[in-house]
């Protein structure tokens, strides 16, 4: 019954033996921490402290290291489980058992996962200051449009995004606010987006605005939720508006840099090719295509390993991506359209995705076939 109660209430208990310096954890404590055991070479106490959120770790360390002398019987803090889940915990001080000489013998305590109750509190009582701070950092504001009352409300961050004073925007003219400062080239996009918002097909759009201060910004408007009446008609729309200028500028700069890079690769008299993680060719300069006996357009999309790598070397080639062990420099043989084989010495530039996996590889090479053949003749 006790174990069942601990599971239901998400409670785990622990005790510490002051003689042996050993710590005991109940099975339910392992469960709420989402672990089966702890790594070797680290104590339970040190491991538990390492799981506590950095914001709370110092205070938690002070509490647990002096728990029997602490004035507070309970302490609440955040914790990140090894599975990556953020949880809220409450530590409760238990009994201190002493030996016949009055020295501490065993300390007891209880840990409870209070995540659900904490999240419920946040839903019931939103801390507006934290929300506003988060919106400011993310440059994102929220808005609500009540179609029944034809009235809209929005957060202060939207005023900040548009660089207008709160007094300039009154309730009810949110759509006018959106349209007033929209960039002329994007006016039709926004107009089409808002024309029949209740039956909208896309949940988000990006457009440009020119603020009253003359700044050009890229904004993303998102229809987050359509709240409907019993008959299916929309009564309220909830959404967000985010300033994505920095991201868009970074994308534009990236494309500009990439175009310059490809232009350079096109003009050099050396083989250059880019392949994705599946070894499909996504770029090939004119020199490389000519060396292989193809036009540039017909070579795009072909699989590099299957089409141009000798069959006995294809396994080694595919393993480079699978093992993330692509080398900055390598030499390999390629098969031309007419069956000739060329030996290429490559200098590789490797790009990774957000998970650290190889996304694409661009190689700039040197045809060393004649040199290799001459070397082999000298050796033989």
Q: Rounded CA gap, 223 and 198, in Å?
A: 10
Between 203 and 61, the more confident residue is: 61
Identify the pLDDT of residue 142. 85
Does pLDDT of 5 surpass 70? no
CATH topology of domain 2-122: Beta-Lactamase (3.30.450)
Does pLDDT of 86 surpass 60? yes
Q: How far is CA 23 from the centre of its chain?
A: 37
DSSP 42: S
Question: By C-alpha distance, which of 75, 71, 47, 73 is closest to 59?
Answer: 75
Question: CA angle, 42 as apex, 38 and 48 as ends, to 5°?
Answer: 60
Q: Rounded CA gap, 197 and 179, in Å?
A: 14
Q: Rounded CA gap, 368 and 270, in Å?
A: 11
Q: Rounded CA gap, 146 and 110, in Å?
A: 47
Neighbouring C-beta atoms of residue 342, cutoff 10 Å: 19
Identify the pLDDT of residue 280. 93
Percentage of residues of the chain with pLDDT beyond 70: 86
Identify the pLDDT of residue 322. 63
Residue 262 contacts residue 273 (beta carbons within 8 Å): no
Identify the pLDDT of residue 351. 83
Does pLDDT of 288 surpass 60? yes
**pLDDT (tens digit per residue) in 155-204:** 888 888 888 887 666 555 666 777 788 888 888 777 776 666 666 665 77
**pLDDT (tens digit per residue) in 349-380:** 888 877 778 888 888 888 888 888 887 777 76
CATH 3.30.450.20 intervals, the chain: 2-122, 128-243, 265-379
Identify the pLDDT of residue 319. 61
pLDDT, the chain, mean:
83
- The predicted model gives 326-337 an average pLDDT of 86
State the sign of the Cα–Cα–Cα–Cα dihedral 195, 201, 204, 208.
negative
Identify the pLDDT of residue 70. 65
The three-class DSSP label of residue 367 is: strand
Residue 135 contacts residue 227 (beta carbons within 8 Å): no
CATH topology of domain 128-243: Beta-Lactamase (3.30.450)
The CA distances from residue 349 to 50, 210, 275, 360, 362, in Å, are 37, 39, 11, 9, 5
Most confident of 19-23, 111-115, 197-201, 329-333: 111-115
The CA distances from residue 103 to 45, 99, 201, 224, 282, in Å, are 21, 6, 72, 61, 73
Percentage of residues of the chain with pLDDT beyond 90: 22
pLDDT band at 59 (very low <50, low <70, confident <90, very high): very high
The CA distances from residue 115 to 88, 119, 249, 255, 322, in Å, are 5, 6, 39, 44, 39
- The predicted model gives 51-63 an average pLDDT of 92
Query: Considering the entire predicted model, what is its pTM?
Result: 0.43
Q: Rounded CA gap, 146 and 152, in Å?
A: 6
Does pLDDT of 131 surpass 70? no
Between 321 and 243, the more confident residue is: 243
Does pLDDT of 130 surpass 80? no
Identify the pLDDT of residue 199. 66
Identify the pLDDT of residue 237. 85
- State the architecture of 265-379 in CATH terms: 2-Layer Sandwich (3.30)
Does pLDDT of 294 surpass 90? yes
- The predicted model gives 21-27 an average pLDDT of 89
């Amino acid at each position: 019954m006790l174990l069942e109660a601990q599971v239901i209430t998400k409670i785990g208990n622990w005790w510490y033996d002051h003689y042996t310096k050993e710590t005991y954890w109940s099975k339910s404590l392992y469960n709420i921490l989402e672990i089966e055991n702890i790594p070797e070479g680290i104590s339970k106490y040190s491991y538990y402290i390492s799981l506590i959120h950095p914001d709370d770790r110092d205070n938690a360390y002070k509490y647990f290291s002096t728990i029997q002398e602490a004035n507070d019987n309970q302490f609440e803090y955040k914790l990140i489980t090894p599975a990556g889940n953020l949880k809220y915990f409450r530590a409760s001080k238990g009994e201190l058992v002493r030996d016949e000489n009055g020295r501490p013998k065993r300390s007891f305590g209880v840990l409870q996962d209070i995540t659900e109750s904490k999240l419920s509190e946040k839903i019931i009582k939103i801390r507006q200051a934290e929300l506003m701070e988060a919106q400011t950092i993310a440059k994102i504001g929220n808005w609500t449009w009540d179609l029944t009352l034809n009235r809209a409300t929005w957060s202060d961050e939207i005023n900040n995004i548009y660089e207008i004073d709160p007094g300039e925007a009154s309730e009810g003219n949110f759509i006018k606010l959106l349209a007033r400062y929209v960039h002329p080239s994007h006016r039709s996009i926004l107009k089409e987006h808002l024309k029949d918002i209740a039956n909208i097909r896309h949940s988000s759009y990006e457009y440009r605005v020119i603020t009253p201060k003359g700044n050009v910004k890229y904004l993303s408007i998102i229809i987050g939720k359509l709240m409907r009446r019993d008959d299916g008609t929309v009564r309220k729309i909830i959404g967000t508006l985010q300033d994505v200028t920095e991201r868009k500028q970074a994308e534009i700069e990236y494309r500009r840099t990439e175009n310059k890079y490809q232009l350079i690769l096109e003009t050099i008299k050396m083989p250059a090719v880019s392949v994705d993680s599946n070894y499909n060719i996504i770029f090939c300069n004119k020199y490389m295509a000519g060396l292989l006996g193809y036009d540039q357009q017909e070579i795009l999309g072909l699989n590099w390993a299957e089409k141009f790598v000798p069959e006995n070397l294809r396994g080694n080639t595919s393993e480079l991506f699978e093992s993330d062990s692509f080398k900055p420099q390598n030499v390999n043989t390629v098969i031309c359209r007419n069956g000739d084989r060329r030996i290429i010495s490559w200098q590789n530039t490797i790009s990774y995705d957000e998970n650290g996996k190889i996304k694409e590889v661009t190689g700039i090479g040197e045809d060393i076939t004649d040199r290799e053949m001459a070397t082999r003749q000298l050796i033989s």
